[in-house]
Chain A
Amino acid sequence: MSYQSLSLNSEPVEAGNDTLPHEETVARQARPLRFITCGSVDDGKSTLIGRLLWDTKAVKEDQAATLRRQSTGKQNDLGLPDFAMLLDGLQAEREQGITIDVAYRYFATARRSFIVADTPGHVQYTRNMATGASTADLAVLLVDARSGILEQTRRHATIAALMGIRQFVLAVNKIDLAQYDEAGFNAIARTFREIALSLGVCQITAIPVSALKGENIVLRGDDEMPWYSGPTLVEVLENATQRTGQTTGFRLPVQRVSRPGEGFRGYQGTVAGGSIKPGDSVVVLPSGVEANVKAIVTYDLVRNAAVHGDAITLVLDRPVDVARGDMIAAIDQRPLTGRAFTARLVALSADGIVPAKRYWLKAGTRRQRVLVRPTSTLDLATGNWDDSHVVPVNCIGVVELDFEELAIFDPYETNRDTGSFILIDPETLNTVAGGMIDGKRSKPGRFDTLPDADRATITLPARLLEAFLKTEFARAHAGEIRITGG
């Protein structure tokens, strides 16, 4: 079969094109969904992404022509081009045949648009995955139907969960090479579900797919898999949920103060949580000064309200001292302020994170000096946290943060925007870590915890207790649960 006749892009009479309802394609009712794909080498990740771009017509004819030229002799048995060539952007990587960084791809259906963070499955995968996952709302984890869940799958799932992703799709790929075997698929799906649940992720969809043949990706694979009645990959993506940032009160990290003339003073920033309207009472942190909102100014004149994600200019009803790096917050739902916090972080640079070193920490718009002290690192193979005083590159560690001036955070669990930070090396000025706030420390080495009455109680048999305490889930919720032996 020729390449041309299979291509949905260049087919001369493609029924879909003429009948596309334009109204629908013009107004998209949702923000773009950001997701990440992870898999081991050769599981078919490039093929899967290429297939998504191809079947949603995000690949244009001239790009396909370049692709065809470059992949001469590398075409697969269906006559399709080598999709990996489409994705590999950088010359050096092309020469070495590897992908070593995060690349972003764009495609859209009539209902929604998508941004895929495409990250490599091998070298430096923790660093790259963490980068891609930081903005993602969903992770597509890829496995080969013939080999099932690997240790690597567990690692990817752990990192994705740690970075705050709460929706997983397991794409069981190359199902065509596994004789479209239903029982095999079900066994893989079951194993994966257990892993995901142990990581605190409850929204899990497993799909049998053939990226190469395009089955259950954009188009259904009913001919070969009549036993599968679940959604296609694209259907899951179209219906995935997005965080609304409403779990905390109003948060506005101040980016800059606008004073175009004597009469006007506005605080510019992007709403990082909650919502706001004129008349609401707010507190300026760290100073603690209180005021009321007088107006929300945008170029499109005055608005009656603003929500999470909106870039606004806020005018207060009285002259207060506000500078870049301050946070304007809801008066009755304040973020944590303090000088000592506990966080988890991913070390991104070759030197790792070393004990008792001072870094620059940037969170939102606030940049301050911080002393970082690692206490443990995560063993991705076992899920255990082991004591450690360094966090080597591509490792995840728990650290204590000590600030000279007040720091302002929400726990990452409740707000990704106000609970995340980066560390900057003061000499090289490189970004050396990405971190997530767990909570405040009142005394050295201790969490701020809820009173016992407010915690959920979990009773476990003694033989499970120790293993449970070492899990990601138990760590993340250490302050919220009370565990008793049964």
Chain B
Amino acid sequence: MNVIEHGRGKPPLDPHLKALENEAIHIFREVAAEFERPVMLYSVGKDSSVLLHLALKAFHPGKLPFPLVHIDTGWKFPEMIAFRDAVVAKHGLELIAHTNPDGVRDQVSPFSHGSSRYTDIMKTRALKQALDIGRYDAAFGGARRDEEASRAKERIYSFRTPDHAWDPRNQRPELWSIYNGMIHAGESVRAFPLSNWTEVDIWRYIQAESIELVPLYFAQRRRIVERDDMMILAEDKRLELLPGEQVREEMIRFRTLGCFPLTGAVRSDAATLDDIIAELEIATVSERQGRAIDRDQSGSMEKKKREGYF
């Protein structure tokens, strides 16, 4: 059968992206129908932007039947916060921004406490606090199985104990596209509609659907300083230069966005979506390479997940 989609003046998605989109919408609707208090974790990055776009599609013509939670460590790129607020206003979303008050009180920073402790306090613990405060029983996240080896076995409904722990040996088998949404009081699931997407899929979908992104994803001359083999953006006054370090300008962009002191830029001339996709098709380095948190120790992602990190 020949299916014609009209409206919005864009060509239909290719069958590959359409299949991924259909699956994600199915997951959104299933979770929204089966859980009492769903929430979406919104990190402002490209995967979150795709996730939000898919959610808007899933519940159209209605509004999102759940709020968004953003874990704001206080060390995000300022452009991310501006972008987040603009998106929330544009779509009339309910956004809950949460920062760990203990971390604020103790002045926890990536510089003073090291990336592991900082991540634990300002991200992992902050996330648990936000989920506990909202008593959410399901949280959507934008994780993909192709991101990292320990994610390859992640379920679409990732089951969590009352203290948010993930036990890799105690996950429910998932057959067909039938998801088991039954849980006891206090338990919860993390639901991953983008499980089967790859990085290239994300970019091609962003292009096909004209999804807006934080400008940091596109190459531009920016001020950076080199530290621990990473190029860190040197715009925030809280970044103190160490002896021997110098600020210089480079043509760079970011492949993932997080806290600016822990997120490395890549040298790139890719200033448009076309450029980025072309760059990716021949890329030889995976996107997580820019993240300090994954390199701390072998199997570190799995360890963080057991402790409740997303």
Contact = CB atoms under 8 A, between A and B. Distances in A.
Partners in one complex: yes
Interface in A106-142: 106, 108, 113, 115, 118, 127-128, 130-131, 134-135
A241 interface: no
A153 interface: no
B61 A258 contact: yes
Interface in B228-286: 277-278, 281-286
Contact of A60 (B19, B171, B173, B286): B286
Interface residues of A, number: 87
Contacts of A434: 173, 175-176
A305 B4 CA distance: 7
A134 to B, nearest CB: 4
Contacts of A297: 60-61
Interface stretch (A25-33, A169-177, A178-186, A336-344): A25-33
A15 interface: no
B2 A305 contact: yes
A377 B266 CA distance: 57
Contacts of B2: 305
A421 B15 CA distance: 27
Contacts of B198: 106, 108, 113
B26 interface: yes
Contacts, number: 204
Contacts of A417: 176-177
A422 B8 contact: no
B302 A89 contact: yes
A309 B24 CA distance: 11
Nearest to B53: A299
A422 B4 contact: no
A60 B283 contact: yes
Nearest to B58: A311
B14 A27 contact: yes
B147 to A, nearest CB: 10
A30 B15 CA distance: 5
B168 interface: yes
B303 A91 contact: yes
B5 A300 contact: yes
A392 B15 CA distance: 41
A9 B284 contact: yes
A83 B38 CA distance: 39
A348 interface: yes
A324 B289 contact: no
A28 B180 contact: no
A92 interface: yes
A346 to B, nearest CB: 8
B114 interface: no
B16 interface: yes
Nearest to A59: B286
Contact of A360 (B15, B182, B283): B182
Contact of B196 (A63, A115, A302, A364): A115
Contact of A89 (B20, B33, B151): B151
Contact of B182 (A26, A63, A424): A424
15 contacts: A22-B281, A88-B149, A89-B152, A91-B150, A101-B153, A108-B200, A264-B61, A270-B22, A301-B5, A304-B4, A348-B173, A417-B177, A422-B176, A424-B182, A430-B172
Given A268-B58, A298-B57, A305-B2, 19 more contacts: A31-B19, A60-B284, A62-B289, A86-B149, A102-B173, A115-B196, A131-B175, A256-B32, A270-B26, A297-B61, A300-B8, A305-B4, A311-B29, A313-B60, A362-B178, A422-B178, A424-B180, A431-B175, A434-B176
Closest 9 CB pairs of A and B: A301-B7, A260-B62, A311-B25, A60-B286, A134-B175, A434-B175, A299-B57, A31-B19, A28-B16
Interface of A: 9-10, 17, 20, 22, 25-32, 60-63, 66, 70, 86-92, 94, 100-106, 108, 113, 115, 118, 127-128, 130-131, 134-135, 255-256, 258-260, 264, 266, 268-270, 275, 297-307, 309-311, 313, 324, 348, 360, 362-365, 416-417, 420-422, 424, 429-431, 434
